[in-house]
Structure 1
Amino acid sequence: MLAAMPPPATLPVPTGAASVRDRGDACPGTLRLHRADDGALARIRIPGGVLSAAQADVVRELAERLGDGELHLTSRGNVQLRGLRPDCGGELASRLGESGLLPSERHERVRNIVASPLSGLDGLGRRDIRPWLATLDELVCASDLTTELSGRFLFALDDGRGDVDALGADVTLLTPADGDAALRIGQAGTVLRIPDEHAPRAALIAAETFLDTARGSGVWRVAELRADGGVLLDQVVRRLRQAGIPATRTPGPVRPARSAAPSPGIVDGPYGTVALSVGVPLGRVGAEQWRALTRAARQREDGGGELRLTPWRGVVVPGVERARAAETLDALEAAGLITGVRSPWAGVGACIGRPGCAKSLADVRAGATAALGPVGTLPVYWSGCERRCGHPRGSWVDVVAAPDGYRVSLVRDGERHAPQPVPDSPAALAAAVAGARGGLDERRPAPCPGT
């Protein structure tokens, strides 16, 4: 944390932002459980979605012993345990700490970092961002100031392919085509070019600067600032230079309107092994499915292995022997995971709905299952209420529960078309959703939902 800084500039904020948030950040974690209708809920932050096979075993064991037995993947590559006993907090924290999943109790809710999940695996990214990931997580956990970040504040590390840059993080590190690193603040088109070796430190300084300049405003995320980000960018440049990090303003790459999830299947690359990419229907992984994933991860000679959870509620398994890849993928398909773009589950997502959420008007997961139709050109997301928790970005089909059925609408690049009322009938819903998605289109299969 920087010392002897000048007083921060005051940033304009949206009208009413502070008055709307008349209480503290209520995002759940592993030390502060959230009370839901199906029991207590814990959210385990997993920076970059990277879990060792041993850590994955611990999380599964806790879900089976303390919760509903399932692992619920989130839109930031994290894991939620649901249906927990209200008195299990101490045991949960102790086991996670022993496994290395709780390196700092003070920072456990702010370790929100997404990273390109195929980085270093397929030869398509401009660099392997894993060293950035490890360093940034260490810096965040070592900073006293970052304990004040909202549980919604998000860092993104993009290896140049634009996948997580499209997620609209508060602070994004990019890999330009001509080397070094670029720092994007919020949605800004202008980025700051910085030396590669200073990239994680620069991301931390940007987050600390946001905290100082927005303190007392009720603002939790950069996008909530009414200004265009120019004032914050000026503050970040000044602090970077005071820290001895050269920063040059330059036009940044155009942020993709829609994030690109890894396609399910075998991910080839210029290496002796391959990776497997699978989707998870509705982001809900059963214990046996999780065991199948960890078995696949442990095919390495050293018996180690890892899983990479993606921000699109999928899983990447690196280090699979090329000769065993097809057999292993078949085993994951037999376990009920999405292994190809022609799966009817490809591109289908949903919030938790009833009975887990009191605000939900319907069991949307059951509704999505009953109305499952042909794969379409757009993702579709089912929401139990108007909050639309976890919905995709960009273009998607919006299905929202209403008192008298559902409302189906098309969202294109953030612009919502007029909703169509649809009765709570599987046949009627399937027809409405298929029509909005574009129906079956062999040329353009839907990606996994960018939620």
Structure 2
Amino acid sequence: MVGMLAAMPPPAPHFAQPDDARFRVRGDACPGALRLHRADDGALARVRVPGGVLSWEQADGLRELAGRLGDGELHLTSRGNVQLRGLDAGCGSELASRMSEMGLLPSASHERVRNVVASPLSGLDGRGARDVRPWLVALDALVCASEAAAGLSGRFLFALDDGRGDMDALGADVTLRARGDGAAELRIGALESVALIPGDEAPRAALLAATVFLSVADASGSGAWRVAELPAGAGPLLDEVVRELAAAGLPVSRATVPVPAGTPPALGVVAGPGGTDALSVGLPLGRADAVRWRALTDLAREHGAGELRLTPWRGVVVPGVRRERAPGALDALEAAGLVTADRSPWTGTGACVGRPGCVKSLADVRGDAASALPDAPPVDALPVHWSGCERRCGHPRGDWVDVVAGPDGYRVSVVRDGARPENPVRVAADPAALATAVAAARKPRP
């Protein structure tokens, strides 16, 4: 079978999620740095990196571990975390020891629940109402010190938004968004009703909201890992959080604030204050080999502020590069194989690990995605995510093109705001046919 087939008739396929309670047959087995997951290409370790912030020494240490113990690549996740793949199942003790030495395991009992995303350009480009780095440091410390927080699922997500709306759009379980008046909005899930709290108390309020979630989830008997799974929805949880905030002595009120659309940071040079810029780049399909990763760490060490900021869009921001060095440094990163401009063929393209790494996958989705890349997508093209099975691991939010492998090829459709895929079309596993079908689906509505 070659080329595109006719549109498939209804019913549409079940739109599964990797953390959907209907798929659970055991407790939370979300991998971490101490609990390795067995995959077809070896063991997998997921290293939580709150806010995506790594010192260059930590980043270089991860490169060394990936090369010595794994497949030699760093794999970024949609939460700005890092995965090491292809590990020997017996390397857990050495891996944990090195992670601890590197400062990446401040609490063994909390290492899988340190899931925090933060605006990657916060404090770097003059935008935003507040630099959220103090929030990040405080929240991580509070989570690691809380006995109750250790009971959160490895999928529960905090988001810290500096006011620009990038993190608020991600649908985290608990979101803090800075306001220009010094207050903070605390959003539960995707509710438009938010709690307004003093900005300086925001990390404490976020932890309280998470612990209230645990109580509500336990009382419901649902086994919910995330806010979206609560039988009564997020509304009653917000009501209880507001009551608990008031009981804790925090000034709190309510407001209606629509969830923003949000956009990832533009790729390239990001102008900043004080004669320094940040460089924002993407990793093709979220993967970096030793050459690409070393290019980033060397830049951070020699010409930047000594850190990398990993983004939920599988990109990296290097802050603090002297302005006169920024253009040449960006060219060097492009030469190393990183994506440095928004009009790259890789722009907006993501994929799960696929074959041979995942036993559930029906195809080598990363190879097929690379073969079907366009010359460059239009500026307003929808993002596209390639999945090896119905679980769609790592897919984006909002509107996107859903490319799912099946026994006889792929199914291409458009997802609007998380709803069921629209008008799925079957396409053979042929690069030209796939490229044509995906390009047609990526065109936004007129």
Shared fold (TM-score, shorter chain, > 0.5): yes
Inter-partner Cα distance in structure 1 for 2:252 and 2:222: 27
Unaligned runs of 5+ in 2: 1-19
The corresponding residue for 1:333 is 334
What pairs up with 1:32-431 in 2 under 5 angstroms? 32-215=35-218, 216-252=221-257, 254-257=258-261, 259-300=262-303, 305-374=306-375, 375-376=377-378, 377-415=381-419, 416-431=421-436
Inter-partner Cα distance in structure 2 for 1:335 and 1:178: 43
1:20–1:365 CA distance, 2 compared to 1 (3 A): closer
Q: Would you say how many aligned residue pairs link Structure 1 and Structure 2?
A: 421
The corresponding residue for 1:14 is none
Structure 1 residue 243: deviation in Å? 1.8
Percent identity at matched positions? 69
Displacement over 4 Å in runs of 4+: 17-20
Inter-partner Cα distance in structure 1 for 2:305 and 2:329: 17
Inter-partner Cα distance in structure 2 for 1:399 and 1:265: 28
Which amino acid in the other structure matches residue 98 of structure 2? R
Which amino acid in the other structure matches residue 331 of structure 1? A
The corresponding residue for 1:4 is none
Which amino acid in the other structure matches residue 82 of structure 2? V
Contact 1:19–1:218 (CA under 8 A) maintained in structure 2: no
Structure 1 residue 232: deviation in Å? 1.2
Contact 2:282–2:315 (CA under 8 A) maintained in structure 1: yes
Contact 1:299–1:319 (CA under 8 A) maintained in structure 2: no
Contact 1:52–1:304 (CA under 8 A) maintained in structure 2: no
Q: Over residues 222-261 of structure 1, what are the superposed CA-to-partner deviations in whole Å (9 max), with x where a residue is unaligned?
A: 1112324232122112221222212111122x1124x411
Contact 1:53–1:304 (CA under 8 A) maintained in structure 2: no
Q: Over residues 162-202 of structure 1, what are the superposed CA-to-partner deviations in whole Å (9 max), with x where a residue is unaligned?
A: 10111100000011232211111111111111111111000
Q: Over residues 331-353 of structure 1, what are the superposed CA-to-partner deviations in whole Å (9 max), with x where a residue is unaligned?
A: 00000000001211111110000
Q: Over residues 37-60 of structure 1, what are the superposed CA-to-partner deviations in whole Å (9 max), with x where a residue is unaligned?
A: 000000000000000001001111
Structure 1 residue 20: deviation in Å? 5.5
Structure 1 residue 403: deviation in Å? 0.4
Which secondary structure does the structure 2 equivalent of 1:106 belong to? coil
Structure 1 residue 311: deviation in Å? 0.2
Q: Over residues 50-92 of structure 1, what are the superposed CA-to-partner deviations in whole Å (9 max), with x where a residue is unaligned?
A: 0000100111100000000000000000000000011000010
Which amino acid in the other structure matches residue 364 of structure 2? D
Inter-partner Cα distance in structure 2 for 1:288 and 1:136: 34
Which secondary structure does the structure 2 equivalent of 1:307 belong to? strand
Contact 1:70–1:286 (CA under 8 A) maintained in structure 2: yes
Match of 1:436 among 420, 434, 441: 441
Contact 1:360–1:385 (CA under 8 A) maintained in structure 2: yes
Which amino acid in the other structure matches residue 141 of structure 1? C
Structure 1 residue 18: deviation in Å? 7.0
Inter-partner Cα distance in structure 2 for 1:60 and 1:196: 37
Structure 1 residue 19: deviation in Å? 7.3
1:295–1:19 CA distance, 2 compared to 1 (3 A): closer
Structure 1 residue 373: deviation in Å? 1.1
TM-score, with length taken from structure 1:
0.91
Contact 1:38–1:83 (CA under 8 A) maintained in structure 2: yes
Inter-partner Cα distance in structure 2 for 1:346 and 1:336: 13
Which secondary structure does the structure 1 equivalent of 2:206 belong to? helix
User: What is the root-mean-square deviation of aligned Cα atoms in Å?
Assistant: 1.7
Contact 1:299–1:320 (CA under 8 A) maintained in structure 2: no
Inter-partner Cα distance in structure 2 for 1:351 and 1:19: 21
Unaligned runs of 5+ in 1: 1-16, 445-451
Which secondary structure does the structure 2 equivalent of 1:173 belong to? strand
1:305–1:19 CA distance, 2 compared to 1 (3 A): closer
Structure 1 residue 133: deviation in Å? 0.1
Inter-partner Cα distance in structure 1 for 2:305 and 2:424: 49
